[in-house]
């Protein structure tokens, strides 16, 4: 279902002719290689899992394994020359999702790479990869999303086997996107402080002829404070409304003509201190390849981010739209906590809502990231297999 290579962010923002998005200085950019490649599915238990850099050294490698919404760090070892990382235990877990985030430097330039892959599920079994994680604290716009490793033929049986409940109680409904994704949400954003429980009773449920569920698990997450941010692409501003505080408006730059930003409500699904953005992954050829974009928050699967921008001049923010579809906030190289981008990143949660208005583009599709809030309650309930 992924619409792009998720290791790479999908947009950058333009700058003046003196800008050097790759970081400046002579020589080739730092290149990080992750094996298995991003987006791989059905990876065997023997892997291998490895992170390499051609030159320079790996500054950090963070690998996380998620099974049944339970997140576990994967310990690893760095080679003596700092150019290769491998897990201590070379055997990969079955029916798991792995995410890898690596940062490297050659002394002059820094680069980051982010990748994910899933391991093989035993034959004749299906599982659902669950968002958010167990015991997470999330924003009020979080949508529970299950992505199945196989297409589901009996969607009614599978949906009936998944229960999403809230305390305080509120009606929650499911909505299918195709035959391999089932999302759940209430009619309106969750109330702060709500505890949500997701119970998977999928074990031995026949999701397709001869294919049975594997999971019987329950997990919970907590809804934190409310924060909803509205980006006005025409006014080049973002208004941040946070419960109990006065609204704050910060200048931004959005998508330029020809690469405009989607309108509509989007949900933060991933937060990265630094990431790489390569235009080649989303159809922009070699227009940009920025290895160290700071304070990056993913809003869609197709590559829309809200991120820090250090390469555009200060006069851009609040005055013009120059990006390739993302929303950019002023930042400094390496990311600064006192900048607008650093301030916003430090105050944000996965599950926060960012709504874009007055952009010369269509409304984001409800299955592009967690875009389900762009359907009204009647439309959402119509997507349930339970009627």
Enumerate the active-site residues. Answer: 307, 326
Strand, helix or coil for residue 381:
helix
Q: Are strands 125-126 and 211-213 parallel, antiparallel or unpaired?
A: parallel
Q: What is the DSSP string of 49-89?
A: -EEEESSSEEEEEEEEEEETTEEEE--EEE-TTSSEEEESS
- The candidate with the shortest Cα–Cα distance to 207, out of 241, 163, 161, is 161
Say which residue the tokens 């003046």 belong to. Answer: 16
Q: Which two tokens stand for residue 193?
A: 């402080």
CA atoms of 202 and 161, how far apart (whole Å): 6
Q: Which two tokens stand for residue 282?
A: 């989303």
Exposure on the CB side of residue 149, measured as CA atoms within 13 A: 29
Q: Are strands 237-242 and 248-251 parallel, antiparallel or unpaired?
A: antiparallel
- The four Cα atoms 29, 268, 3, 286 give a dihedral, to 10 degrees, of -30
Strand, helix or coil for residue 382:
helix
Q: What is the DSSP string of 150-176?
A: S--S-HHHHHHTEEEEEES---EEEEE
Please say whether the dihedral angle defined by the alpha carbons of residues 309, 313, 319 and 322, taken in this order, is positive or negative.
Answer: negative
Cα dist from 124 to 21, 168, 209, whole Å = 48, 38, 9
Q: Which two tokens stand for residue 364?
A: 């984001």
Provide the residue count of the chain.
Answer: 387
CA atoms of 288 and 292, how far apart (whole Å): 12
Question: b/e per residue, 31-56, with b = 16+ CB within 10 A?
Answer: ebebbbebeeeebeeebebbbbbeeb
């Amino acid at each position: 279902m992924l619409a792009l290579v998720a290791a790479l962010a999908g947009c950058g923002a333009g700058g003046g002719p003196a800008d050097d998005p790759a970081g400046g200085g002579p020589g080739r950019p730092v290149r990080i290689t992750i094996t298995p490649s991003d987006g791989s599915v059905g990876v065997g238990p023997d892997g291998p899992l490895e992170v390499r850099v051609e030159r320079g050294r790996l500054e950090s490698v963070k690998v996380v394994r998620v099974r049944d919404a339970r997140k576990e760090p994967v310990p690893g070892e760095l080679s003596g020359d700092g150019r290769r990382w491998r897990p201590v235990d070379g055997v990969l877990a079955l029916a798991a999702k792995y995410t890898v985030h690596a940062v490297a430097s050659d002394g002059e330039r820094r680069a980051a790479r982010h990748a994910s892959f899933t391991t093989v599920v035993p034959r004749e079994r299906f599982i659902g990869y669950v968002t958010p994680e167990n015991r997470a604290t999330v924003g009020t716009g979080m949508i529970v999303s299950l992505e199945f490793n196989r297409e589901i033929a009996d969607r009614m049986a599978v949906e009936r086997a998944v229960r999403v409940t809230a305390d305080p109680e509120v009606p929650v409904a499911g909505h299918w996107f195709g035959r391999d994704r089932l999302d759940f949400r209430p009619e309106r954003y969750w109330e702060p402080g709500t505890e949500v429980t997701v119970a998977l009773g999928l074990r031995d449920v026949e999701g397709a002829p001869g294919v049975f569920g594997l999971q019987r698990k329950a997990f919970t997450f907590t809804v934190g404070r409310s924060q909803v941010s509205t980006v006005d692409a025409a006014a080049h501003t973002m208004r941040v409304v946070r419960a109990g505080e006065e609204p704050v408006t910060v200048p931004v730059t959005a998508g330029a003509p020809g690469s405009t930003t989607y309108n509509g409500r989007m949900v933060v699904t991933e937060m990265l201190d630094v990431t790489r953005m390569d235009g080649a992954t989303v159809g922009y050829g070699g227009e940009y390849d920025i290895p160290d974009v700071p304070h990056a928050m993913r809003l869609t699967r197709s590559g829309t981010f809200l991120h820090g921008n250090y390469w555009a001049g200060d006069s851009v923010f609040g005055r013009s739209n120059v990006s390739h579809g993302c929303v950019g906030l002023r930042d400094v190289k390496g990311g600064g906590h006192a900048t607008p981008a650093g301030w916003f990143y430090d105050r944000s949660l996965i599950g926060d809502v960012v709504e874009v208005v007055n952009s010369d583009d269509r409304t984001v599709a409800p299955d592009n990231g967690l875009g389900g809030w762009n359907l009204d309650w009647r439309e959402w309930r119509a997507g349930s297999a339970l009627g």
